[in-house]
Chain A
């Protein structure tokens, strides 16, 4: 029996806001509410990296958040997909080139799906999740590394790894 066809039936989401304006988070909550109800498709908002499949990141990755973001990514067991939501997550959005932001999620962890908009509508979010599930099905359960992990650790100044 091919088990990876069950991945599309129960995508568990870990949502992390790296310092955005909360507009995107409201849309995520709206998609859990009665009108859109993404639990119909088995998606749950888990809040725990060890049991999640999809890491849904919003916000421009501020100084305080960047090491936490990297750790959350490393704590998720494979297969996993990263979805960057909103203009902030893409390139900083309204916060671009501020002194304290990292200009987007892709500067820290590899992103698989981008959901454009500021804020994206719940339909766009659901579309992005569907896209992420398709990528999730093709991934293997081998350990994944962040590309140039050592450089990123140097940049973040993380010591106790």
Chain B
């Protein structure tokens, strides 16, 4: 029941998370920051702009991104394979990339290519994470994982650590906000969207927050208090990292992911498999 509610109200929930994040960011820079409802004000304002598109495929891909993100979350929360959710997430990001590469703006094309770099850095780790959940709980099903009597976090600490450092890549935070580097390529894939179509991309990002934090919550097993603590810790950690680091090169991101994070996750999986 609560899964269904979270799925339906995912954009609203994600908007709140985003609003709180903007306040935290402002407080870290000793500013006061916008009100919590600011993302929704932006949302309604963007709805009221003139619809202004480059060509129809581009606009469609913006909306496709939003729908595919929401669908991914539905697949994840309404009791299906973790793996299928991970693959649907690939489709969502691909929609964004196709849209970004279909216009003539070089910033947009560059952003699309960098988004692909993001994808090859984090998607293998998502699959490895799903596999390690399978090894521990014996199922890819979210219901089984959430009723697993144990502490997945203590059996796969390295996977959790790797995932913690992969979240900035998924949510476009520094030091890995390479695809939408606001100072160099002004938003990357989203640069050519405007008005209602930008709104679709903007809201898709909020849903991505919920998608990521659901995975973090799974690390608590059936100890929901632990899951909530982990979500809060991750949220604060990611924001701290975002506000205190500078942007890296995309090569460094891919190298870091493939030479440090993925071997760590694989090591953890090998240990779990030997232990059983």
Contacts between chains A and B (CB distance < 8 A), count = 75
Say whether B29 contacts A34, CB under 8 Å.
Answer: yes
Bound complex: CA of A48 vs CA of B52, how far in Å? 14
> Is the C-beta of A149 less than 8 angstroms from some C-beta in chain B?
no
1/0 per position for A1-30, CB-CB distance to B under 8 A?
001101101101000000000000000000
Say whether B31 contacts A10, CB under 8 Å.
Answer: no
Cβ distance A21 to chain B, nearest Cβ, rounded Å: 22
1/0 per position for B110-121, CB-CB distance to A under 8 A?
000000000000
Cβ distance B245 to chain A, nearest Cβ, rounded Å: 20
- Interface locus among B40-48, B132-140, B221-229, B263-271: B40-48
Bound complex: CA of A79 vs CA of B192, how far in Å? 17
> Is the C-beta of B88 less than 8 angstroms from some C-beta in chain A?
no
Say whether A39 contacts B31, CB under 8 Å.
Answer: yes
Bound complex: CA of A7 vs CA of B50, how far in Å? 13
**Which residue of B is nearest A9, CB measured?**
B41
**Which residue of B is nearest A39, CB measured?**
B34
**Which residue of B is nearest A6, CB measured?**
B44
Say whether A40 contacts B32, CB under 8 Å.
Answer: yes
Q: Which of B102-144 contact A (CB under 8 A)?
A: none
A interface, size bucket: 20 to 34
Say whether A10 contacts B191, CB under 8 Å.
Answer: no
Cβ distance B65 to chain A, nearest Cβ, rounded Å: 16
**Which residue of B is nearest A7, CB measured?**
B45
Q: Which of B29, B30, B41, B198 contacts A42 (CB 8 A)?
A: B41
Say whether A37 contacts B26, CB under 8 Å.
Answer: yes
Cβ distance A147 to chain B, nearest Cβ, rounded Å: 19
> Is the C-beta of A50 less than 8 angstroms from some C-beta in chain B?
yes
**Which residue of A is nearest B187, CB measured?**
A48
> Is the C-beta of B194 less than 8 angstroms from some C-beta in chain A?
yes
Cβ distance B73 to chain A, nearest Cβ, rounded Å: 25
Q: Which residues of B contact A34 (CB under 8 A)?
A: 29-31
> Is the C-beta of B49 less than 8 angstroms from some C-beta in chain A?
yes
**Which residue of A is nearest B194, CB measured?**
A50
**Which residue of A is nearest B25, CB measured?**
A39
Cβ distance B5 to chain A, nearest Cβ, rounded Å: 24
Query: Which of A6, A34, A79, A142 has the most CB atoms of chain B within a 10 A radius of its CB?
Result: A6
Say whether A47 contacts B31, CB under 8 Å.
Answer: no
> Is the C-beta of A159 less than 8 angstroms from some C-beta in chain B?
no
Q: Which of B8-49 contact A (CB under 8 A)?
A: 22, 26, 29-35, 38, 41-42, 44-49
A6-B41, A7-B45 are contacts. A51–B194 as well, Cβ < 8 Å?
Answer: yes
Say whether B34 contacts A79, CB under 8 Å.
Answer: no
Say whether B31 contacts A78, CB under 8 Å.
Answer: no
Cβ distance A144 to chain B, nearest Cβ, rounded Å: 9
Q: Which residues of A contact B51 (CB under 8 A)?
A: 77
22 contacts between A and B (CB under 8 A): A3-B47, A7-B45, A7-B48, A9-B45, A10-B41, A10-B42, A12-B42, A39-B22, A39-B31, A39-B34, A40-B31, A42-B35, A42-B42, A47-B182, A47-B186, A48-B186, A50-B193, A77-B51, A77-B52, A77-B195, A79-B49, A79-B50
